[in-house]
A and B are shown apart, each in its own frame.
Chain A
Amino acid sequence: MKKNNFWLYFALFIITIIGGFLRLYKITQNPPSLTGDEISFGYSAYSILKTGRDEYGKFMPLVFQSVGDYKNPVPAYLMVPSIKIFGLNDFAIRFPNALLGTISIPIFFFFLLDILKNKRIALLGSIFLSLSAWHIFYSRFSYETLMASLFVLLGIWGFIKMFNGNLVWAFVSAFFFTLTMYTAFAPRLFIPAFILGVLIVNIRNVKKNLRNLSVFAFTCLILGLPLLYVTLFQGAGTRLQMVLISNDIEFSRHILLKYFNSISDLPMLFFFWLKRYISYLNPGLLFFNGLDATQPNPIGLGVLYIFEIPFFIAGIIEFIKNKIPNKNIFIVWALTGILPDSLTNNQQHAGRLLHLFPLLIMISAMGAISIYHQLKKVKIKLVRTIYFLLYSIFILIVLIHAYLIIWVNFPRDKSESFDEGWREAVQYMIVNQDKYKEIVIDPARGIDGPNMISNPFLYVLFYTKYDPLTYQDEKKIYSESSDYYFEFNKYTFRHINWPADKNSKETLFIGSPWSLAKENLNDGELLEIINLTNGSPAFYIVTPK
């Protein structure tokens, strides 16, 4: 190893350690609670570990039915070894994601080094990724699109190498691209669009690489066939139908002024989609508040930091001006990367854009290097130093703001949407459940109203470490109607109707203040109050006297 390279790799090691620290530090405390998705993945993984089957008794499934949203298999299977090592707890659930987020840093470095052949850009890119609030935020809880983003990076890297003539990379690329599709939903649209786009813009190279491409296509087909099967025949396509843009409220309520229900509305849908698509160049999303980590606020955290704006602009100019290897592949990456999120019925979502992180951060790093070169041209050293110092101070201020948002504002503002309170409520229940014949838990909650419906049975299964084999085999009662009702063992999950329920002796009730209003409770009935980080009551734990 050359001396120069030693320091380069040493720097990379330090950057990775810092990145790992930022992703793992107090990971179980912030975000403040496991989300419904994390809990569901976690218990499925636990069930697989103990029985080889999911909670519905399906042997090693390729799609997890979960609560009817048919989840992807990779996140659950990645949790299996983690649960084996650390046990069934919050850390074990979040660890695989944080680990993949951390590993992304050196992999991104080597990707940049290999593709751009520029050590400075590679190193700066890895620093930006290591400190990226966007990447850190989604690394700190189990988030399938973050996992997929690493596989996308590896797949595209392999794809570029394959185009340069190496057959082995055809297998590598095909493997990671397919793995990506087993990991998250967004890449299922992105990957085919990306491959098609690259083939179109590289049509001249297709003939030269026909052998590699055939191997690539064949490998993809073989590895992807099971996914195709479960998508078509085992409900894995359900999620896709649920989130399609045609169900968007803005589209139906404000544009069509009725529900989308005929082919004649398709042209309007097309232009609505186009609006969504073009909107991804929104500076708010990119730099100011795209992360949605606080209450609605013009100045929050974006996909990139505010101090990266000049870098990003300079990077785009550099990208346009200079000869960049595989430039057209990067352009196709950008254009197709937006596609999945633009086709969904929700607001723009920074998380669903994670497979674009290598591209955005690469441009930012290129721009920073370009600005550095411009700065070096300033002849007076003092002026140069002042520029440098002032901008460094600005960067520091922005990083402090980011720290405060993630560690102070986010837990206060968003804890409710992260289902905070269930863990504490269930832990109280575990300690006291022997005193009661029945435990009734209301799934509806919310500060402003009982508008959020969770799946508390998953929290009960998870935190009680409920034996998966028992759960798979035992009798469960659930409602076929739209009313939430689910019952197993002595746990019942339904809406609490206190005037009627207050006569149920030896029963423990867990519900929000909306279903268990304080003024309706007699002295001694209220056993415990579970608060959110911001102090609002999330749950009351009550037993009739």
Chain B
Amino acid sequence: MAEHIGNSANNNGSNGLRLKIGLAEMLKGGVIMDVINAEQAEIAEKAGAVAVMALERVPAQIRAEGGVARMASPKIIKEIMHTVSIPVMAKCRIGHFAEAQVLQELGVDFIDESEVLTPADELHHVDKHAFKTPFVCGARDLGEALRRIAEGAAMIRTKGEAGTGDVVHAVKHMRQIVKDMRALTVLGEEELYAAAKEHRAPYELVRMVARTGKLPVPNFSAGGIATPADAALMRQLGAEAVFVGSGIFMSDSCTLAAPKEAEARARAIVRATTFYNDVKVLAETSEECLGAMKGLAVSALEPEALLQTRGW
């Protein structure tokens, strides 16, 4: 199935894409946690994270401190890679293919071309077919997801509103993507051309979604997930795994949570992500979870403060 979305012009062919999607498949049902040092990475691994995202600052800190947010220092990334045996991801700026080249050279297992960092290109995203390392990209609706897949993304995640601890836009994006996909499945063959135009996405990918009712790559959720119940909510809405950024290691935008607290939260969210359909376990995990980050209500943010509008 996966080979159909391989771009034959790229330098690693459809088998390359199958391997990228293959790793995404292995992460399903799990939690990917943002970490800023080896110590946090260890806590994440011990809690049962399936992967960690190596960063210099988590989104809540980036939001609070401002300035230009760039790829993390290779030193931090290497330290984290040496500390844990689970896959390590790292972020590059939208369109910054040189940062992506560096990350690939370091050997990170997944690259997140992320709106959380300051975009490097206002027009173009990275040509992800040109890389051997798989990419994950954010999307707010089906069209955006398919545009990223056309560029070679092997995993899609909702954009949510990173660093807020407010799940409202992760929900909005997931519902939108699921609704868009469902709508395609009832269209006639002849209606798919106009649907492709409407979604501003390649016709072949639109037709593929119309036939299968799902994305041709795994569909994860990110942005504002802060509690076990948030993780379960996203899973029940159709997310195949979740990213938790600031929600585990921060108690508010500038203060780190105590390690004990972070560990309890991490474990509780991991458990809730697997047993998302079991209310008894959800009640237990919600109780086990010590506190949650204070957070920012997305509705109180000025439009220019939103990270999710970066990229197209």
* Chains A and B are bound partners: no
- Chain B residues proximal to chain A, CB less than 8 Å: none
- Chain A residues proximal to chain B, CB less than 8 Å: none
